[in-house]
Amino acid sequence: MKILVPLKRVADPDNANKVKIPASGATIETTGLEWKPNPFDEYALEAALRLTEDGKAPKVRAGEVVVVTFGPKETETTLRAALATGADRAIRVDAADDKLDGHLVARALKALVEREKPDLVLMGKQAVDGDSNQVGQILAEQLDYPMATFAATMKEEAGGLLVGREVDGGVITLRVKFPAVVTVDLRIVAPTSVYSMKTAPAFKYNDGVRFAALPAIMAAKKKPLAEVKLADLAADQGLRVTYHGFQAPPARKAGIKVKDVTDLVNRLKNEAKAL
Amino acid sequence: MSTQAQNRYKADLREIRFLLFEQFKLGSLLGQAPFDSWGTDEVNMVLDQAYKFVCDVLGPLNQSGDREGCRLENGQVHEPSGFKGAWDALYEAQYKTIATDPAHGGQGAPHMLQVITEEMITGANTAFSMYPGLAYGAAEVIQQFGTAAQKDRYLHAMMFGKYGGTMCLTEPHAGSDVGSSRSVAKKIGDGKYKITGTKIFISAGDHTMAENIVHLVLARVEGAPAGTKGLSLFIVPKFRVNDDGTVGARNDVNVGSIEHKMGINGSATCVLNFGENDDCIGELVGTTENMGMSQMFLLMNGARISVGVQGVAVASFAYLNALEYAKDRKQGAPMTSWKDPTVPRVAIIEHADVRRMLLEMKSKVEGIRALVMKLACHQDNVRFYRGKDDEKVAYHQGQVDLLVPLVKAYGSDQAFRVCELAIQTYGGAGYIKDYPVEQAARDAKVFSIYEGTNHIQAMDLVGRKLGQHGGKNLQAFVSDVATFVAQNDKHPVLGAAIKELGGAQEALAGMAMRLLMWFQTGRIALVPLAANRFLEMMSETAVAWLLLDGARIAVDALAALPAGEESARERAFYEGKKHAALFFARNVLPNVKKSAEILALEDQSPLDMPTDGFATV
């Protein structure tokens, strides 16, 4: 099975307070931020690795896991980390962070999918910076592929996957035929969430994503990492979303004490205009 | 507070990258033998991945391991819950063998990187780190001194987590005085011995994480001379190992009890009884008897460096947690309007005394980390120049030898003091077990005691290291500091502080001469009274030097930074380096001259004091 895993780097969500907006409000200041892979994308990579192995040690890859990201040269750090974790090959689509939106990324990914011909595109349900939650859906639409979003479980079958999707009030199980697009939710990395056809039904993975072993980190530099120009994938680089300005959420104002109920009603009516 | 396992460990990766690449120029060694497979990218990736690993795997078990502790049941020690999984994950990730020779399956990384990965492992979970730490130290002894058969049998298993390991020196009546050890080895032929004796305070002495544990035991072969000269070192496995490498019958090694300690409660500290049933079989390390102390010293040297690293690790943990709390906790009004009850309350980091404590912690944490890094840098240069330039190898090895007692003793002393300041920064909350710094203080206290107390380190420094190679190592150290002073004492920002360093260096050199004079004029009784203070003088001089050198780099970097918000973070970082160095130079470094004045008084009141005069009880 060949799986394409799109990855996005995001500002370290544990240090969200370091994200600053300059006085001009024209952009979000990104220099000096600690970057981390989007956690949902890491879960997608872990799921892709599980789908292409049998659970046994030492891990032997059956198939290929290709990771792709969009961004400047520095984003190769994210790709190298994915290679160290087990991906076989990486592609960086050279692009500036602020010249991308979900629709453009999906269009470029479509061209890449047509070139790479994976059986499956496996990606995070959303990136934790913009929380747009749309690239997977747009991509499936553009490709006219079957799609399952918010996957919590995946079981490989002949020519497809049985996907358990988390929805309000329960789990919906969908059968998707390859080639397909699947976006994953956080429970996809639970010990019994993903089974390839070769993995024993009783096998349990460690909870969470795997860690890169030191020898694999050293070997990651030798794995192929190709650079592709965004223009080669998307002739039209127009953006559907443009940003007009940024501002930090207003600081919370101190509350006031009201005299009595009449005062409260008056203020709700005349000041807050809530009544 | 949530009872769910939570990671409290954090590391300042920017500071670590500064030390590695900007101050100690790791880049100039990378890509060349013996570090050919290492480049900047690999180092950076290891930093990121190791940090992620320790935060996810080891950190969440730090508090739970402390609360649960170890237990002894039916002769078997059980480590805290979750440690076994962490052990397996650590050896799968292979961080313990990062600097090991590739011939033994390691990655051959520079020691400068290894001390950082070790700092992360220890900082995230000190008690846990004891088990793989001892296993690795014991493996290094076998790697260095073992026979080919012993290496075949034990080395790989101990390096990669299949076997654990320990070092067994201390006995009930033989602590710092190792030479009065009473454990006995009786030769039974074929390189084998029957061992009898009791060892105490054995860290990682028993657990269920590995399928076997290899004890390295100091014992006296029957008829060998008294004192340390007659001690030999033996490999004594918990389970005998068959010729095909499989684990066989239980050896006669039994856990008598485990200690209930102030800190590192997740680390099993055992009383081990060897040969209670006269059936404890050990084999000599190598083939020559009475070499035990010198063999054990290899392990102890590495272990002493590791204790210094433990000091940095826990101090850094305490500092960064206190810093986070100080930014978050609101209490009191700004100094300028302290009487006005209506002004908004400020975070306690706005208060001058909290800032003073934070800056003292920062300067000490970064200072002892720089000291550790300097030692590791010399170790890497020894490896780099070996076989190419004997003179350089001798210089760098000399500095390693000289710095080991400083790193161990000053690193561990200051670690405890930083933890104390961290608790003070929290105020009452710091004394409460919901917050992580009281555990840090308890865990850190042992660092000044084990692996040779800090007084033993001080005596090693003044008694052995100062005179090594005719005093050349010390001379080189003093002259390195003097060169730095001469080159930089007119620095526009740091000049005054660097002049203070020059004064400290002269006071240090003068005190070294006075020590020599005491030795030569039969006044040796004064030496142990002065040793600890001398070690502190030398450490403070070294730390101030390294901090000021870092500040010099930071000042240059500040001048090169573009103006504007884009470089605000970098500017703050370099300003931080500058101010930490200035703080240390102004508030701590003057102690060096003061100490020299105190020692010149040659006070010996502790010796003049009648023992019965200490108290009438």
ipTM: 0.86
State the average pLDDT for chain A.
92
A81 reaches B (C-beta below 8 A): yes
B384 reaches A (C-beta below 8 A): no
B31 reaches A (C-beta below 8 A): no
In a domain, A11, yes or no: yes
Query: Domain residues for A104?
Result: 2-249
> Are B45 and A81 a contacting pair at CB < 8 A?
yes
List, in order, residues 6 or more apart from B8 with CB less than 8 Å away.
Answer: B59, B62, B63, B317, B321, B436
B245 reaches A (C-beta below 8 A): no
Does pLDDT of B2 surpass 50? no
Instruction: Please give the average per-residue pLDDT across B330-353, as a whole number.
Output: 90
In B30-121, DSSP assigns E strands to 71-73, 76-78
Considering only the top CATH level, what class is B164-292? mainly beta
CA A23 to chain centre: 30
State the average pLDDT for chain B.
95
Higher pLDDT pick, A167 / B455? B455
Phi, psi (rounded to 5 degrees) for B246:
-80, 160
Instruction: Please give the average per-residue pLDDT across B25-47, as a whole number.
Output: 95
What tokens does B311 get?
């000091």
Does pLDDT of B37 surpass 80? yes
**Which residues are registered as beta bridge partners of A177?**
A160
B89 reaches A (C-beta below 8 A): yes
What tokens does A88 get?
């076989």
B392-423 confidence digits (pLDDT tens) = 999 999 999 999 999 999 999 999 999 999 99
Residue B238's pLDDT is 98
Report how far residue A213's alpha carbon sits from residue A218's, in angstroms, rounded to the nearest whole number: 9
Bridge-based pairing of strands B269-274 and B192-203 is antiparallel
Residue A56's pLDDT is 85
Higher pLDDT pick, A249 / B89? B89
The CATH architecture annotation of domain B13-145 reads Orthogonal Bundle (1.10)
Bridge-based pairing of strands A89-94 and A64-71 is parallel
Q: Is B505 helix (H, G, I), strand (E, B) or coil?
A: helix
In a domain, A272, yes or no: no
Closest residue to B49, CB basis, from A23, A211, A215 = A211
Q: Is A126 helix (H, G, I), strand (E, B) or coil?
A: coil
Chain A: nearest CA to B376, how far in angstroms?
20
In a domain, A23, yes or no: yes
What tokens does B66 get?
């402390």
- Measured over the CA atoms of residue B209, residue B214, residue B216 and residue B221, the dihedral's sign is positive
Percent share of chain B, pLDDT over 90: 93
Instruction: Please give the average per-residue pLDDT across A146-156, as a whole number.
Output: 97
A210-251 confidence digits (pLDDT tens) = 999 999 999 998 999 999 999 999 999 999 988 889 888 888
Chain B: nearest CA to A1, how far in angstroms?
26
Residue A220's pLDDT is 93
Residue of B nearest to A85 (CA): B49
A185-216 confidence digits (pLDDT tens) = 999 999 999 999 999 999 999 889 999 999 99
In order, the DSSP letters of A2-23 are EEEEE--EEE-GGGGGG-B--T
Contact B181, B226 (CB under 8 A): no
Q: CA end-to-end span of chain A, whole Å? A: 59
> Are B44 and A212 a contacting pair at CB < 8 A?
no
For residue A117, what is the domain's CATH number? 3.40.50.620
Instruction: Please give the average per-residue pLDDT across B82-92, as a whole number.
Output: 96
B261 class by beta-carbon count within 10 Å (0-12 exposed, 13-18 middle, 19+ buried): middle
List, in order, residues 6 or more apart from B520 with CB less than 8 Å away.
Answer: none
Catalytic positions of B, written as ranges: 451
Report how far residue B368's alpha carbon sits from residue B315's, in angstroms, rounded to the nearest whole number: 9
Mutation target for A interface from B13, B565, B574: give the one with most A CBs within 10 A: B565
> Are B89 and A217 a contacting pair at CB < 8 A?
no
Report how far residue B379's alpha carbon sits from residue A117's, in angstroms, rounded to the nearest whole number: 51
Total number of residues shown for chain A: 275
Tokens 């931020």 -> residue: A33
Exposure of B212 in the CB half-sphere (CA atoms within 13 A): 27
In order, the DSSP letters of A166-208 are EETTEEEEEEEESSEEEEE-GGGGSTTSEE-TTS-TT--PPSS
> Are B93 and A32 a contacting pair at CB < 8 A?
no
Residue A17's pLDDT is 67
Residue of B nearest to A74 (CA): B41
Closest residue to B89, CB basis, from A23, A211, A218 = A211
Residue B178's pLDDT is 86
Report how far residue A125's alpha carbon sits from residue A137's, in angstroms, rounded to the nearest whole number: 9
Predicted TM-score (pTM) of this structure: 0.92
B543 reaches A (C-beta below 8 A): no
Instruction: Please give the average per-residue pLDDT across B135-163, as a whole number.
Output: 96
In a domain, A268, yes or no: no
Total count of domains within chain A: 1
B358-392 confidence digits (pLDDT tens) = 999 999 999 999 999 999 999 999 999 999 999 99
> Are A81 and B48 a contacting pair at CB < 8 A?
yes
Residue A13's pLDDT is 73
Report how far residue B597's alpha carbon sits from residue B153's, in angstroms, rounded to the nearest whole number: 56
Report how far residue B425's alpha carbon sits from residue A222's, in angstroms, rounded to the nearest whole number: 48
B93 reaches A (C-beta below 8 A): yes
Contact B127, B269 (CB under 8 A): no
Does pLDDT of A137 surpass 70? yes
Does pLDDT of B134 surpass 70? yes
Q: Of the candidates B414, B388, B397, which has an alpha carbon nearest to the alpha carbon of residue B542? A: B414
Residue A16's pLDDT is 67
